[in-house]
Amino acid sequence: MHIYNNVSLRSYNTFGIDVKAHCLVECENVNDVEMIARQSGDGRKLVLGGGSNVLLMSDFDGIVICPKVKGCEIIDARGNEVIVRVGSGVVWDDFVAYAVAQGLYGVENLSGIPGNVGASPVQNVGAYGMEAGQSICRVEGYMMGTGERFALSGSDCRFGYRDSIFKHELKGMAIVTTVDFKLYKDAPVQLGYGPVKAAVESMGGVTLQNVRKAIIDIRNSKLPDPAVEGSAGSFFKNPEVDSSFANEIEQKNPNMPKYDLGNGMVKIPAGWLIEQSGWKGRVLGKAGVHDKQALVLVNKGGATGSDVMNVANEVSKSVYEKFGIRLEMEVCRID
């Protein structure tokens, strides 16, 4: 276990916001997590994995806990199904690369997503028609304060769109140590989303490796280079509105992209709403809207959490005035 006092969190969050933590604890293994869960006291606590989905607003006066639990191994295989147990501190894309290299299907469309495995059940990370929650079959960890061990099945996690029990009843209370994924030796690939099919075909055929490569190429072409501009991926969720309201917007904007959710609701891409509201590529001070993907807010250098929130609020206001839709943040704001 490594403990640091009064430490900058700049390299611990992908937005690159430079605030300090009173105390930061890196837990190297499951025993460290259990100990810190039991002994961290009553003060404020924040679990930070890869820090790829947070906006830090100010210095954190409590303990920041970084689980660094390693390991990625097949623990069971029956017929077509293979269970892989992965430590919460494993870099998400290292796990996806492992699965693809082993010829296992189920997470290939989630290639290139930043962050650690421990955040995948919390946020139910998703991309290109696939969500982590579809493969997660067990999540283990410890409860903050009591140090009690928990083990949840996939359905216990109550996965929704960028949503899970860890954002509701267990919010701020659970430290994930391992996640089990049910993957398949053979399964249909999902190429239905946007330009994935064409990209895979242009690579000479449908293989797991080609799907992974196509997705990484598409992501790199749209998302900011982390070495140049900090960001936390999509800043807002794609709003879900009822289909009659979506039809009204579509009548005025025949080019509106949409996904029919089949329950009388329609998902409209927030990136499109933001672009139509004139914000793509706009900068306000030290933060702005990415010029290739308007759903991504970026740190243009030295931005504070307030600089980013200022852009977010202005963007939300414009979208509301133009379309009557309130955007909801996807990124977790930490005050």
Name the residues that contact ligand EPU, by CB under 6 A: 127-128, 193-194, 222, 233-234, 237-238, 257, 269, 271-272, 275, 280, 293-295, 330
328 is known as an active-site residue? no
Please identify, using beta-carbon distances, which residue of 21 and 296 lies nearer to ligand EPU: 296
CA distances from 18 to 58, 251, 306, 323 (A): 9, 45, 12, 35
234 is known as an active-site residue? yes
Q: How far apart are CA 197 and CA 195, in angstroms?
A: 6
Cβ of residue 206: shortest distance to ligand EPU, in angstroms? 18
Please identify, using beta-carbon distances, which residue of 154 and 271 lies nearer to ligand EPU: 271
155 is known as an active-site residue? no
Q: For the chain, give the number of residues.
A: 335
Please identify, using beta-carbon distances, which residue of 141 and 271 lies nearer to ligand EPU: 271
Q: How far apart are CA 333 and CA 285, in angstroms?
A: 20
Q: Which amino acid is at 233?
A: G
Please identify, using beta-carbon distances, which residue of 238 and 316 lies nearer to ligand EPU: 238
Cβ of residue 297: shortest distance to ligand EPU, in angstroms? 11
Cβ of residue 137: shortest distance to ligand EPU, in angstroms? 22
Could you say which of 111, 120, 162, 316 is catalytic?
162
Reference 142, options 65, 70, 72, 85; nearest CA is 65
Please identify, using beta-carbon distances, which residue of 171 and 222 lies nearer to ligand EPU: 222
Cβ of residue 201: shortest distance to ligand EPU, in angstroms? 18
Q: Which amino acid is at 97?
A: A
Other beta carbons within 10 Å of 102 = 14
Could you say which of 120, 234, 277, 318 is catalytic?
234
Q: Report how many helices (DSSP H) and strands (DSSP E) the chain contains, helices first.
A: 8, 20
CA distances from 295 to 30, 81, 122, 263, 306 (A): 36, 36, 21, 25, 18
What are the backbone angles phi and psi of residue 149, rounded to the nearest 5°?
-80, 140
40: CB partners within 8 A, 6+ apart:
25, 63, 65, 144, 145
Cβ of residue 226: shortest distance to ligand EPU, in angstroms? 13
Query: What tokens appear for 75 in the block?
Result: 């623990």
List the catalytic residues: 162, 234, 330
